[in-house]
Amino acid sequence: MTLREIEHHRARSDRERALDDMRVMTLRQWCDVNGFSWDTGRRLLKSGKGPKILQLSPRRVGVTVGANRAWQKSRERV
């Protein structure tokens, strides 16, 4: 690969990641992705220890992939 091809590929990957970060998961999908139950997910959100949620409509909320990634990073142990 040439340097130009590598830079083009890197820029494309950054754009794809930015688009993926904006994708919205339902709360059930968010629980599945993180490997815990619906009840645990609700407890985390209610206690304020979960990721930022997005209000989609008066009765519907979701979590963006980017917010989930940031939340997971904030919970890393050193």
The model's pLDDT over 26-71, given as tens digits with 9 standing for 90+, comes to: 999 999 999 999 999 999 999 999 999 999 999 999 999 999 999 9
pLDDT at 41: 96
- pLDDT interval class at 7 (50, 70, 90): confident
Count how many residues are written for the chain.
78
pLDDT at 68: 96
Q: What are phi and psi of 58, to 5 degrees?
A: -55, -30
- 25 pLDDT higher than 90: yes
Domain ranges of the chain: 23-78
Top pLDDT among 36 and 9 is at 36
Strand order in the sheet with 60-64: 24-26, 60-64, 54-57
Nearest to 71 by CA among 17, 38, 31: 31
Q: How far is CA 12 from the centre of its chain?
A: 20
